[in-house]
Structure 1
Amino acid sequence: MSEKLAIHGGSKAVDKEFPWPIYDSNDVNAVTEIVMSGKWGNPDCGDEVARFESEFAAYCGSKYAITCVNGSVSLRLALIACGVKPGDEVIVPPYTFITTASSVIECNCVPVFVDIDADTYNISPAAIEAAITERTKAIIPVHFGGLACDMDAIMDIAKRHGLRVIEDAAHAHGAEYKGKKLGSIGDVGSFSFQSSKNLTSGEGGIVITNDDELYAMMRSLRNVGRIEGGQWYDHYNPGCNYRTTQMQAVLLSQQLKRLEMQTQKRNDNGLFLNELLSNIRGLMPLTRSEAITLHCYHIYIFKYDASEFGGLSRNDFAAMLAAEGVPSFKGYPHPLYKQPLFQNKNFMCYAIPDHVDYTQVHCPNAEQACSEAIWILQHALLGEKEDMQAFAQAILKIQRAIC
C-alpha cells in the first residue's frame, strides 16, 4: 500500500526548511553601522556603493560595474547605452521574466521573440540567426535558471551582423561558461538583486562591462544624466535617479563573500540531482554541456512526462511536490508573447509598427516548456546530499501513489 500523500493529509517527505536569504551578525552589523552613520545616500554620502561595484566587477572579471535600483532598470540602461533607437528590433527569448522584453518596449524598440532550445530552455542561436533583419540592433540572451547560453555561437552571430549582446544574467550570479563568469562575455551583463536571487539585497541591480564608452553612458543614465567631472546641476543625457543606497551596497558586499561557496554547493547538488532524477521514469533534467564549467542553479529545472505518472497533470504534480515539502513551482504558464501586454499591444509606445502582431507568434519549444517544466528553487540547492535524495524520494512517493 502506498504512503498517503501530504496533499491528502499524510506526512511530508521533506520535513526541513531551507531559509533564504542567509545572513548573520556580520550582515546586521554592517547595515547597522551605515544606519547609525546617517550617511545613507549615493553618491553624496559614503563610499560603500563604489566599493561594492569594484568588488563585483573584480568577481566577474570585468573592468566596470554600475549599480542601479533593480534588474529591470539595468536592462534599460544597457539598451540605451548600446545605442538602440525607436523602432529598432531587439531579439529576446519568450521563456523568461517579463522585463527582458518590457525593457525593450520602454526603449521604444520592438521585441522580436525567437524560440528556445528544447534541451536547455535557453535562446536558440539558429533561431536568432533566422530572425535578424536590417532593423535588428541587439540580442538579449537569458541565462535561464543560471544555465549558460551558447555564448560562442551568439557572439559569432553578433560579430558577423554588427549587433550588441546584452547578457540577461539575472539568474546567473557566479555561474561560468568555459571558465568565464556569465555577464562578462557580451557587451554588457545585467544582474538583479531582487529577494529571490542568488545574490540579494531585497531589491537592486547592476550592469557590468569592459567598454569605456558604455560604462560612461550607463553611469550617466543611472545618475540623472550627470557626467564624471561635470557640475551637480549639469545634465547631459536622458537619465533618471536609478541610484542604490549605501545600506544595499554594504549588505551586498557581505553577501558576496558567500557567493562562490554557495554557487559551488548549488552546482554540486544540481549534478547530484541530475543523477537521481534521471533514474526516475517520466523525468528529464535539462541538458548541461561541457561548456558549463559552473552552474549556479538559480532554478533547477526538469521536464515532467504525465504519461509516466498515470496522466497526472503537470499542475497537479507541482502542487503535490510542493505539499511534500520540496521548494518547487510549476514555472511559467505561457510564453511572454501570450501575455496580455503583447497580445493587446498595450505599450504606450509610438515606434512599434502596425504590422507587428504578437498574436501570430508561435515558438513551439517555449510553449512545450510551459507545459512540462518543474522548477526547484535555488535555496533548496543549498541543502545537503541527503536533502537531494529526499527530493527524489518525494517524487517517487507521488509516482507510487498515483500509479
Structure 2
Amino acid sequence: MDQEQAFNARRHFIKLTGLTTAGILLSPSNTFSMNIGSDDAFKPAILGGAPIRSKPWPEWPIWNVETDEKLVVDNLRSGVWSRAALVKEFEEKWAKEIGTKRSLSVVNGTNALIVSLMQSNIGAGDEVIIPVYTFIATAAAVLATGAIPIFVDVDPETFQIDPKKIEAKITSKTKAIVPVHILGMPADMASIMKIAKKHQLLVIEDACQAHLAEINHQRVGSFGDAGCFSFQNSKNLAIGEGGAITSNNDALMDRCYSYHNYGNPYGAMVGNVSAGTLIPGNKLRWTEYQAAIGLVQLKRLQAQTDKRHENATYLRSKIMSIPGITPYRLYENVTKAAFHLFAFRYNKNEFKGLSRPDFVKAMKAEGIPVMEGYAPLNKMPYLANAFQSKNYRKMYTAKELDINVYNKRNECPVNDKLCNEEALWIFHSTLLTEKEDMNDIYNALEKVHANAEAIKKSIK
C-alpha cells in the first residue's frame, strides 16, 4: 500500500470508527493505524477485506402473516374470486390516494398504458412522444396500439424526459405525450402540460414506478388525461401482477372499463352474458384475491413512502461529497418522490479509471446491492421487428418504416452515456431501514473510492 492509499485508508477508518484522534492518524508519516490489526477495515472486501455490511437488507415484498392474511384467506374461502366488492373497494381507495375521480384495475401496468392510449383514440398513423430512459413497457404499449414511439433524450441530473427537447420532436402526426416518472421521481409536469396544451396533445402519465409521488402536494397520475400504475411484485405497492388507470375523465374511464370487460357496457357485472357488447374489448379484469392483497399493502404504503423519501434525502446529502458520485436531482416543485430506485451517476475518472461493472462488483462485495440499470431503449431489435411486421407494413409506407431514418431521428446521445457509462441504482427496499443504515452505503462508497486503484489493478 503506497503513501496515498494509506492516507485514504486512514481517512476512511476514521469515518467508520468515529475516532477523535483524527489529526494524529491522518498524518502521512503516522503508521500506528496500520499496526493495530485494522488492515481488514481498510482493505476492500473484493480483495479479501471485511465488508462494510454483512447484515441483510429488507426483503421484498413485505408480508405479515398476523395482520395480512385474514382478508385474503377469507376471500379464498368465500369462493367469490372474480371481480366483485373487493376490487371495487381497492379502486375507490386508489382513486382517493391519487386524487382522481376514478380508478380502474387491470392485469398489469403495461395494459394500463395500452388501454389508456387505445381508448384515447391513439392508433395507426399516430406518433406518441415518450422518454428514452424508461422500461420497455412504455414503448411496447405504444406499439401495441399501432402507433409509433418517438424518443426524447434524458435530463441526466433528474433521469427524466428533458422537456426542453420535446417540442423539436412534435409533428403533425404527434397525438400524445407519455411522460414517465421513472425510478419513482416525478417528471417536470408543469413544463410538459404547457407543451401539451400548446400543441393540443393528450398526456398519459406512466406512473408505474411512482406510487404516491407528489408535485406541489399533488399526486402524480392526476395531472394528465390519465395516469397508469403497476403493482408488479417489485413495485412499491406489490401484488404480484396488477395495474390501475386513474383519471377525472368519466367518458374515458367508461370506455376503459368497457374494454377491460370484453367491451360490455360500463358497470356490466361479471358473468352477465346478455349485456350487449358495445366495443371490441378484451378481458383484463382483476381477481378478488388480488384486490385483497392490494388492500393489505395499501395500509402501509404511505408510511413506507415517507420512510423512503426521508432516507433517500439523507443518503443524497451524504454521498454528494464523494468525487465521481453524483446523486439524482429532484425538480424544485417536487414535494415527495417515491424512490422505486435510488439513482446516482458514476464517473470512473474520479475512481482511477475503475470501470462501472467492476465498481458494481466492489460495492456488492461490501454488502451494497448496486445495479447498472437500463440499456438504451431506442437501440433494441424490437423496433425494426415491429416495423417489419404484417400490420405495420399495411398501416405505414415503406418510407415511414425506414429504420435507418427512424434511428437517426431518434438518436439520444445523453441517454447513451447515461445507460452505458454512468447510471447506477439501489433498490427501494434498501431505503426502508434506519438512517444509520444509509451510512453503510456512504461508507462503502468512500471505501471503494479510497481503494479504487488497488481494486482496478487486482481485477485486470
Match for 2:98: what amino acid? C
Could you tell me whether the CA contact under 8 Å between 2:362 and 2:448 is conserved in 1? yes
CA distance in 2, matches of 1:101, 1:347: 16
Within 5 A, what are the aligned runs for 1:277-356? Answer: 277-332=319-374, 334-345=375-386, 348=389, 349-350=391-392, 351-354=395-398, 355-356=400-401
* Whole-angstrom CA distance in 1 between matches of 2:255 and 2:79: 30
Task: Pick from 249, 270, 273 the counterpart of residue 232 of structure 1.
Answer: 273
Deviation by residue 1:206-247 (Cα, 9 ceiling, x = unmatched): 000000111101111111111135563422122211011111
Does the alignment pair 1:369 with 2:418?
yes
* Residue in 2 that maps onto 1:13: 52
Q: Which residue of 1 aligns with 2:458?
A: none
Q: Counterpart of 2:229?
A: 191
For 1:374 and 1:28, the matched residues in 2 are separated by 36
Distance 2:128 2:446 in 1: 43
Does structure 2 conserve the Cα–Cα contact (< 8 Å) formed by 1:68 and 1:206? yes
2:68 aligned to 27, 38, 45, which one? 27
**How far apart, CA to CA, are the structure 1 residues paired with 2:439 and 2:388?**
46
Q: State which drifts further: 193-202 or 17-26.
A: 17-26
Aligned-partner SS, 2:350: helix
Q: Contact conserved, 1:282 with 1:306, CA < 8 A, in 2?
A: yes
Q: Distance in 1 between matches of 2:259 and 2:414?
A: 36
What residue is the counterpart of 2:127 in the other structure?
A: 89
State the 4+ residue runs in structure 1 displaced beyond 4 angstroms. Answer: 343-347
- Given residue 53 of structure 2, which amino acid in structure 1 is its aligned partner? V
Match of 1:262 among 304, 314, 333: 304
Which structure's residues are more often helix, by fraction?
2
1:172-229, CA deviations, whole angstroms, 9 ceiling, x for partnerless residues? 0011011100111111000000111000101100000000111101111111111135
**Range 24-33 or range 169-178, more displaced:** 24-33
What does 1:87-166 align with in structure 2 at a 5 Å threshold?
Answer: 87-166=125-204
Cα distance in 2 for residues equivalent to 1:289 and 1:111: 25
Q: Look up the equivalent residue of 1:19 and give its one-letter code.
A: E
Aligned to 2:18: none
Whole-Å separation in 2 of the counterparts to 1:202 and 1:270: 25
CA separation in 2, counterparts of 1:211 and 1:111?
Answer: 24
Distance 1:214 1:9 in 2: 59
* Bigger Rg, which one: 2
CA contact (8 A) 1:5 1:324 kept: yes
1:319 CA displacement = 2.2
Equivalent position SS for 1:302:
strand
Q: 1:103 to 1:293 in 2, by over 3 A?
A: same
Aligned residues: 399
The percentage of counterpart residues that share the same residue type is 41
The one-letter code matched in structure 1 to 2:327 is P
Inter-partner Cα distance in structure 2 for 1:280 and 1:244: 47
In structure 1, distance between residues paired with 2:160 and 2:267: 41
C-alpha displacement at 1:289, in angstroms?
2.4
| Secondary structure of the corresponding residue to residue 264 of structure 1 | helix
Write the distance in 2 (CA, Å) between the matches of 1:189 and 1:347.
31
Segments of 5+ residues of structure 2 without an aligned counterpart are: 1-5, 10-41, 454-460
Gaps of 5+ in 1: none
In the alignment, structure 1 residue 4 sits paired with structure 2 residue 69: no
Distance change in 2, residues 1:172/1:241 (3 Å): same
Aligned-pair distance for 1:93? 0.8
Q: Which moved more, 1:304-313 or 1:226-235?
A: 226-235
When normalised by structure 1's length, the TM-score is 0.95
Contact 1:222 1:241 in 2 (8 A): yes
Distance 1:74 1:344 in 2: 23
Q: Structure 1 residues 377 and 352, CA, compared in 2 at 3 Å: closer, same or farther?
A: farther
d(CA) in 2 for partners of 1:270, 1:375: 12
CA distance in 2, matches of 1:70, 1:141: 18
Partner residue in 2 for 1:399: 449
**1:49 counterpart = 2:87:** yes
SS of the residue aligned with 1:281?
coil
1:336 is aligned with what amino acid?
A: L
Aligned partner of 1:37 in structure 2 is 78
Q: Residues 13 and 89 from structure 1, CA distance in 2 versus in 1: closer, same or farther, beyond 3 angstroms?
A: same
Q: Once the 2 structures are TM-superposed, how far is the Cα of residue 345 of structure 1 from its aligned partner?
A: 4.2
**Greater Cα shift, 71-80 or 319-328:** 319-328
- CA offset at residue 352 of structure 1? 4.5
Are the aligned partners of 2:158 and 2:331 in contact in 1 as well (CA < 8 Å)? no
CA separation of 1:397 and 1:352: change in aligned 2, threshold 3 A: farther
CA RMSD of aligned residues (A): 1.5
After superposition, the Cα gap between the structure-2 partners of 1:398 and 1:243, relative to the gap in structure 1 and judged at 3 Å, is same
Q: Does the Cα contact within 8 Å between 1:91 and 1:139 map onto a contact in 2?
A: yes
The normalised TM-score by structure 2 is 0.84
What is the deviation of 1:126?
A: 2.0
Q: SS where residue 161 of structure 2 aligns?
A: coil
1:22 and 1:124, CA in 2 relative to 1: closer, same or farther beyond 3 A? same
Q: Which amino acid aligns with 2:294?
A: L
Q: Secondary structure at the match of 2:155?
A: coil
Q: Which moved more, 1:361-370 or 1:292-301?
A: 361-370
User: C-alpha separation between the residues in 2 aligned to 1:267 and 1:320?
Assistant: 26
Q: Distance in 1 between matches of 2:413 and 2:107?
A: 35
Question: 1:246 matched to which residue of 2?
Answer: 288
Contact 2:188–2:331 under 8 Å retained in 1: no
Counterpart pick for 2:104 among 66, 76, 83: 66
Equivalent AA in structure 2 for residue 390 of structure 1 = D
Instruction: Give me the whole-angstrom Cα distance separating, in 2, the residues matched to 1:6 and 1:196.
Output: 28
